[in-house]
Amino acid sequence: MVATKSIKFLVVFVLALTSFTAFAQEEVVENNLVDSPDEIREFIAHHLKDSHDFHLYTDNASGKHYGFPLPVIVWTSNGLKTFMSSEFHHDDNGEVVVDKDGTKIVKYHTKIYELDEGAAALSFDEAHHPTNASKVIDFSITKSVFGMILTGLLMLIGFSSLARGYKKGNTVPKGFSRVLEPLVIYVRDEIAKPNIGDKKYRKFMGFLLTVFFFIFILNILGLTPLGFNVTGQIAVTACLAIFTMVIYLFSGTKDFWAHTLWMPGVPIILRPILAVIELLGFVVIKPFSLLVRLFANITAGHFVVMSLMALMVSLKADFGPVASTGMSLILSLFIMFIELLVAFLQAFIFTMLSSLFIGMAVEEHDEHH
């Protein structure tokens, strides 16, 4: 009862953002004059990737970019180098070489490369792979990192205000906290307790709640015109999945390991085979399914929404500007609604499966079968 109410509220809350999103995204497309299928494809592909500056839109007439640069922090063969991404001058083709104390750094297709000794410009092979440069370890505050920090701050502000409300002696929260509380209760009562058990769930609440809201807010941020695609970055979902894996592997009970490595009640010959299968399941398959599910859902969502928005441009020749714009608006709005659901659903599923796996690991077997 409480949970459905809160979901309803959130849907309404995020709806306010949606119409704005559709509008703003169109503007991006319009102003860039991305009007051929190839350009659209490239535009979408570019959006799905992480970027080193916070780019809002480009005014095509004056060639001016709106947005702000983000810090680049890279570990090169000469040690740590930091500078603002504005030094690349919005170049993404490896043409602008940034020279930091003799280390030549270029950005090519959202990746940062360090030119080899003696090279002055990036050269490519037939498959457009750089030949005279090596990748660096990139600790930059990219758009995704920025989004995560933003999300962390939002969470910290929102939930610490909820916590303060209780400390002041209000048993019932006021204002925005009233929206957050049912969500916390939802995660506790519908996700953690049924899967982990009443006795042990408390220990994992910190992780589960954090992950739930982290994914949820990042998914929602991805639907705003700011154009974040954090949960669509495979490194991010991989990290989340590995956190879950580490937690359930380290909190596994003796029973769990006994059942995983030497399954009782099964012929001795089968036991090593089962152990390999079980171990593979817990170490590889389960985390992999977690990371791919979140990554694929969010990436696909972004891809579909942007493709539908691009209909406006690509169908203009066939249907005229009004019909194509109308169709694009209706379809993308429809998909946007579904994406709102997916934003919640993926956060829910990730947390749900994490708690399910943790529940498997901490379960005590009373009866031996």
Q: Which of the stretches 61-69, 198-206, 303-311, 315-323 binds another protein when contact is defined by CB under 8 A?
A: 198-206
Give how far Cα 19 sits from Cα of 16, 40, 99, 151, 353, Å: 6, 22, 43, 22, 32
Q: What angle do CA 163, 168, 173 make, to 5 degrees?
A: 55
Contact in structure between 332 and 308 (CB atoms under 8 Å): yes
- 133 is a site residue for another protein (CB under 8 A): no
Largest CA distance in the chain: 75
Contact in structure between 199 and 316 (CB atoms under 8 Å): no
| Nearer of residues 126 and 318 to another protein, judged by Cβ | 126
- 108 is a site residue for another protein (CB under 8 A): no
Q: How far is the CB of 182 from another protein (least distance, A)?
A: 11
Token pair for residue 99? 């020279």
- What contacts 100, CB < 8 A, 6 or more positions away? 81, 83
| Nearer of residues 109 and 365 to another protein, judged by Cβ | 109
- 355 is a site residue for another protein (CB under 8 A): no
Q: Which of the stretches 8-16, 202-210, 257-265, 317-325 binds another protein when contact is defined by CB under 8 A?
A: 202-210
- 220 is a site residue for another protein (CB under 8 A): no
Q: Which of the stretches 10-18, 20-28, 203-211, 349-357 binds another protein when contact is defined by CB under 8 A?
A: 203-211
Of 239-268, binders to another protein (CB under 8 A) are: 239-240, 242-243
CA–CA distance, 172 with 170 (Å, rounded to integer): 5
Q: How far is the CB of 99 from another protein (least distance, A)?
A: 21
HSE-CB for 85 with a 13 A CA cutoff: 26
- 159 is a site residue for another protein (CB under 8 A): yes
| Nearer of residues 185 and 323 to another protein, judged by Cβ | 185
- 202 is a site residue for another protein (CB under 8 A): yes
- 2 is a site residue for another protein (CB under 8 A): no
Q: Which of the stretches 82-90, 94-102, 113-121, 158-166 binds another protein when contact is defined by CB under 8 A?
A: 158-166
| Nearer of residues 8 and 202 to another protein, judged by Cβ | 202
Q: Which of 2, 80, 121, 234 binds another protein (CB under 8 A)?
A: 234
Of 9-28, binders to another protein (CB under 8 A) are: none
Q: How far is the CB of 19 from another protein (least distance, A)?
A: 30
Query: What's the residue count for the chain?
Result: 369
Q: Which of 15, 163, 284, 330 binds another protein (CB under 8 A)?
A: 163
| Nearer of residues 259 and 302 to another protein, judged by Cβ | 302
Query: Which residues form the interface with another protein (CB under 8 A)?
Result: 49-50, 74-75, 111, 137-142, 144-145, 148-149, 151-152, 155-156, 159-160, 162-163, 166-167, 171, 181, 184-185, 188, 202, 205-207, 209-211, 214, 233-236, 238-240, 242-243
